[in-house]
Amino acid sequence: MWHVYILKCADKTLYTGITTDIKRRTEEHNSSVLGAKYTRNRRPVILVYSRRYKSRSAAAREEWRLKQLPRVEKLKIINHKNK
């Protein structure tokens, strides 16, 4: 399974990515050089959204789609998922 995820950074910005292990990847963003360059100076990050996909290609398409959305639309998706 692949996961598309959104992290909320300490500076309130949002970061979107994909992974096969959501727990490991979130820990990497918070504590190692393996995390994305974007999140290294914005720690700690909090996982605020994730969704599973059967294939890497489906997850990558959804990641790209989410990255194209304005922040307000991403927040709507996050808030809808958390209800």
Q: Does the pLDDT value for residue 82 go beyond 80?
A: no
Residues 9-21 have pLDDT tens digits of 999 999 999 999 9
Token reading at 42: 């914005």
Q: What is the CATH number of the domain that holds 30?
A: 3.40.1440.10
| pLDDT reported for residue 83 | 58
Q: Is the peptide bond before 70 cis (omega within 30 degrees of 0)?
A: no
**Residues of the domain holding 50:** 2-81
| pLDDT reported for residue 64 | 98
If one counts the domains in the chain, the total is: 1
In angstroms, the CA 62 to CA 56 distance is 10
Nearest Cα to Cα of residue 22 among 58, 57, 59 = 59
Global confidence as pTM: 0.93
> Edge-to-edge strand order for the sheet containing 14-19?
14-19, 2-8, 46-53
Residues 21-71 have pLDDT tens digits of 999 999 999 998 888 889 999 999 999 999 999 999 999 999 999 999 999
